[in-house]
């Protein structure tokens, strides 16, 4: 095979990056990359609109509710969202924004929303070992629709174990809402917003 001269390779690399124009823009030591995915359009309605039972006292509502079944919404495959395989290992940030409208049968006191990140092969993602971050949620009045929003910001330095899973390229996400209910019943859930953003640091992809 003919060897390519370094100068030609340099030009070719520049030209190639220009044809993939956003990569040209991103080709510097000071350029970071964010891949942001709005997952709602890619989820089927069974994953975004459902009714789940809960018990009186301390109760937990899992999102997505059918946590034992891997779904497109929880299996985030970074290889398939165009992040180069080598670059995945440099991911240093993850943000998750969600909004869910909840209509419970009974009053639910303020509680927490906990983010779980599990390996792609895991069927039960709501295990304590996969818990990575928590935010508070407001009171959920009985029979009224309340929109609960949450924003999780993770970085590789403070969430090393979770990032090991993220940097593998495929992982599952889940959010568990935990609060105290005045009595048992059912809750209507409508997941209206679920956005995942992963960040690659400046200089990603460069030698």
Residue ranges that bind other proteins, judged by CB under 8 A: 1-2, 4-5, 7-8, 11-12, 14-22, 24-42, 72, 77, 79-85, 202-203, 206-207
> In whole angstroms, how close is the CB of 13 to other proteins at the nearest point?
8
Phi, psi of 107 (to 5 degrees): -65, 140
- Cβ closest to other proteins, residue 40 vs residue 120: 40
Residue among 94, 96, 98, 107 at smallest CA distance from 165: 94
The Cα–Cα gap between 63 and 207 comes to 39
> In whole angstroms, how close is the CB of 33 to other proteins at the nearest point?
5
> In whole angstroms, how close is the CB of 128 to other proteins at the nearest point?
29
- Cβ closest to other proteins, residue 56 vs residue 202: 202
> In whole angstroms, how close is the CB of 86 to other proteins at the nearest point?
11
- Cβ closest to other proteins, residue 18 vs residue 144: 18
């Amino acid at each position: 095979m003919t060897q390519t001269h370094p100068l030609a390779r340099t030009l070719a690399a520049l030209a190639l990056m220009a044809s993939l124009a956003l990569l040209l823009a991103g080709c510097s030591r000071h350029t970071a990359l964010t891949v942001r995915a709005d997952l709602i359009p890619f989820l089927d309605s069974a994953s975004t609109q459902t009714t789940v039972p809960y018990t009186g006292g301390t109760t937990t509502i899992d999102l997505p509710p059918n946590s034992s079944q891997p779904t497109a919404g929880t299996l985030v495959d970074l290889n398939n969202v165009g992040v180069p395989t080598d670059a995945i290992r440099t991911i240093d940030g993850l943000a998750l924004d969600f909004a869910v409208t909840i209509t419970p049968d009974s009053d639910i006191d303020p509680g927490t929303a906990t983010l779980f990140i599990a390996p792609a092969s895991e069927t039960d993602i709501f295990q304590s070992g996969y818990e990575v971050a928590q935010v508070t949620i407001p009171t959920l009045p009985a029979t009224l629709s309340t929109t609960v929003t949450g924003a999780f910001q993770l970085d590789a330095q403070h969430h090393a174990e979770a990032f090991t899973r993220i940097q593998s390229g495929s992982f599952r996400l889940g959010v568990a809402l935990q609060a105290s209910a005045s009595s048992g019943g059912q809750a209507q859930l409508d997941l209206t917003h679920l956005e995942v953003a992963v960040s690659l640091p400046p200089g990603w992809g460069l030698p």
